Amino acid sequence: MTENLVDILGSPLIQRAILASVLCGASCSVLSVFVVLMKMPLIGVSMSHAAFAGAVFAMLLGINPVSGGFIMCLITAGVLGPLSDRTDMAPENILGIMFSFLMGLAFLGMGILTRTKAGAFNLMWGSLLSLSGPDIAILVFVTSLLVLFVLFFFKEIRLVLFNRRLAAATGLPEKAIYYTVLFLTGAVVSSNLTTVGGLLIFALLVQPGATALQLTYNLKHFFVISTASGIGACLSGLTLSYIFDVPSGSAVVLMATAIFAAAYIFSPKRNATKLKEREHE
């Protein structure tokens, strides 16, 4: 059994899959801190569909799907950023329209593509087990960019997450930080089309942050817990998919949900609030 395990871990294919899981988990879960604390899950979902639609059309045109996805994300960020900044329209409605439009676009492309190429479905589910060298290189680059951003601008990020208007009033380049977050969202989402795909990635953009939200009041710990739970979900999902031979994307998402459920049930924050409420009764 142990020898068996050593054999498995020794295989370059598996090593690459493990690396892919760690990168996918890390990039999505660091980003999910922003998605959860800036209350922009709809932006996350729109961006992932933009990436998906962009990749599908890139495939149709015979160019690299990841760059197609990224370009589409940039366009979406360029439209969404200013729109959600406006106070005279409810951003939810615009995002809802945007999101369904992108989804329609993606499925239109899918319909045309599946007649010619079977590979299109991979963009929906991704696969941790079949990443190419360049795929991994892109993931390494995007993940490092994201981590460096958080490390270098931690204090600015804290205030922007807390209250964008106060951040602006305090003299921070709040807009620049917000647009960097949108840009990084596009980069993370499109580079992860290959790992968990354009549909399932949304789970990884929300659940790690939501898990951390159950567990800590410290923003540094928040990033750490989120990242740990994201990587944990990816690695355990990978293991399950290997053992039971099920699609890795679905296994990862189910594990992320399980981790969130556990955090929710055992949340000291929630329990403390409940206790307080009971005292008041």
Ligand X SMILES: Nc1ncnc2c1ncn2[C@@H]1O[C@H](COP(=O)(O)OP(=O)(O)OP(=O)(O)O)[C@@H](O)[C@H]1O
**Which residues are near another protein by CB under 8 A?**
37, 39, 88, 152-156, 158-159, 162-163, 165-166, 168-173, 212-214, 216-219, 221-222, 269, 273
Measured from the CB atom, the residue of 2 and 87 that comes closer to ligand X is 87
**Residue whose token pair is 């960019």:** 145
Measured from the CB atom, the residue of 33 and 102 that comes closer to another protein is 33
CB 59 within 8 A of CB 165: no
Beta carbons within 10 angstroms of residue 16's beta carbon: 18
Measured from the CB atom, the residue of 18 and 219 that comes closer to another protein is 219
Q: How far is the CB of 267 from another protein (least distance, A)?
A: 9
Q: Which residues contact 125 (CB under 8 A, 6 or more apart)?
A: 196, 197, 199, 200, 247, 249, 250
Which of another protein, ligand X, none binds 245 (CB below 5-8 Å, type-dependent)? none
Token pair belonging to 214 = 């159950």
Which of ligand X, another protein, none binds 168 (CB below 5-8 Å, type-dependent)? another protein
Which of another protein, ligand X, none binds 78 (CB below 5-8 Å, type-dependent)? none
Instruction: Choose which of 5, 62, 88, 171 interacts with ligand X (CB under 6 A).
Output: 88
Question: 43: closest CA among 84, 86, 90?
Answer: 84
CB 207 within 8 A of CB 32: yes
Q: How far is the CB of 149 from another protein (least distance, A)?
A: 12
Q: How far is the CB of 165 from ligand X (least distance, A)?
A: 14
Which of another protein, ligand X, none binds 121 (CB below 5-8 Å, type-dependent)? none
CB 257 within 8 A of CB 207: yes
Residue type at position 154? F
- Number of residues in the chain: 281
Q: How far is the CB of 118 from ligand X (least distance, A)?
A: 51
| Residues in binding contact with ligand X, number by CB under 6 A | 2
**Residue whose token pair is 């922003």:** 34
Q: How far is the CB of 164 from another protein (least distance, A)?
A: 11
Residue 273 burial (C-beta neighbours within 10 Å; 0-12, 13-18, 19+): exposed
Q: How far is the CB of 179 from another protein (least distance, A)?
A: 15
Cα 45 from Cα 17, distance rounded (Å): 25
Instruction: Choose which of 87, 115, 171, 280 interacts with ligand X (CB under 6 A).
Output: 87
Measured from the CB atom, the residue of 89 and 261 that comes closer to ligand X is 89
Residues that bind ligand X (CB under 6 A): 87-88
